[in-house]
Amino acid sequence: MAIFSVYVVNKAGGLIYQLDSYAPRAEAEKTFSYPLDLLLKLHDERVLVAFGQRDGIRGGLGSGRGRGVGRAPVLRKWVGCRCGAGGKGVVSGPLSPRRNPGAAASLTISFTSAVGHAVLAINGMDVNGKYTADGKEVLEYLGNPANYPVSIRFGRPRLTSNEKLMLASMFHSLFAIGSQLSPEQGSSGIEMLETDTFKLHCYQTLTGIKFVVLADPRQAGIDSLLRKIYEIYSDFALKNPFYSLEMPIRCELFDQNLKLALEVAEKAGTFGPGS
């Protein structure tokens, strides 16, 4: 998917709508039996892999003995890990290739960030920070043999909604700085922000609402997508009499039509290989 996210920011800088629309390319979901052969730790309200690297799940502390770090190993040996079932640092268990040759398939992780992967979901249900979907503490849950076998999805830690709120408000301020820094009078704020992995496009209406789209740098047609999102907002949010201005947008029809517009924009504007 070439369009990653949409943010709508109200006049005061408050985030009133957010949609993530990318299929994460680097998540690994595996079934584990007790004991877990990865070391998990709590960091910043998230459960991260502190140590251990297997089948594409990345740890954060010098895992792998320099061999192919950044690639997805099928089998890893490490010394000194106390988590392996055998206690000696060899990955064993139902998913080890010796017992289950079919499990040799690995996932390719294409970025080389050293940040440890986070626990994203347990048994198919998204976790909520350090708590499971039903409010238990993840570390506690995974420490209890009775809860196994368990299926855990690991991946790059996602932004929490609070973090998104803060980032939106920060962007709102930076947007204003953009126009203040300008040598010319009456300059607009930030309209585009480019990194090597995405481009952020921002459209501020005359009424002060900002529509922000994060997309693949090669994705074209974002300007007209932004105008289209403005139309969708003016229809499905504003013409809904039960929607109050400046408040978070919780309108089904807005969601549906926005997702449709993203699909259309992706198909129309992708020039790069594969979405």
What 3-state DSSP class applies to 16? strand
Report the nearest approach of another protein to the CB of residue 274 (Å): 29
The rounded distance, in Å, linking the Cα atoms of 39 and 112 is 20
Residue number with CB closer to another protein (115 or 177): 177
The rounded distance, in Å, linking the Cα atoms of 227 and 250 is 20
Residue number with CB closer to another protein (58 or 228): 228
CB 217 within 8 A of CB 198: yes
Residue number with CB closer to another protein (100 or 187): 187
Residue number with CB closer to another protein (46 or 172): 172
Report the nearest approach of another protein to the CB of residue 188 (Å): 4
Residue number with CB closer to another protein (117 or 172): 172
Report the nearest approach of another protein to the CB of residue 4 (Å): 23
The rounded distance, in Å, linking the Cα atoms of 160 and 163 is 5
What residues make contact with another protein under the rule CB under 8 A? 11-12, 175-176, 178-180, 186-189, 204-209, 227, 230-231, 233-235, 238-239, 245
Specify the residue for token string 């449709």: 260
Strand intervals (E) in 147-241: 150-155, 192-194, 199-204, 210-215
Burial of residue 17 (number of CB atoms within 10 Å: 0-12, 13-18, 19+) = buried
CB 199 within 8 A of CB 217: yes
Report the nearest approach of another protein to the CB of residue 275 (Å): 24
Residue number with CB closer to another protein (61 or 245): 245
Report the nearest approach of another protein to the CB of residue 241 (Å): 9
The rounded distance, in Å, linking the Cα atoms of 156 and 135 is 22
The rounded distance, in Å, linking the Cα atoms of 245 and 247 is 5
Report the nearest approach of another protein to the CB of residue 198 (Å): 22
CB 122 within 8 A of CB 85: no
Residue number with CB closer to another protein (11 or 30): 11
Residues pairing with 47 in the sheet: 42
Report the nearest approach of another protein to the CB of residue 190 (Å): 9
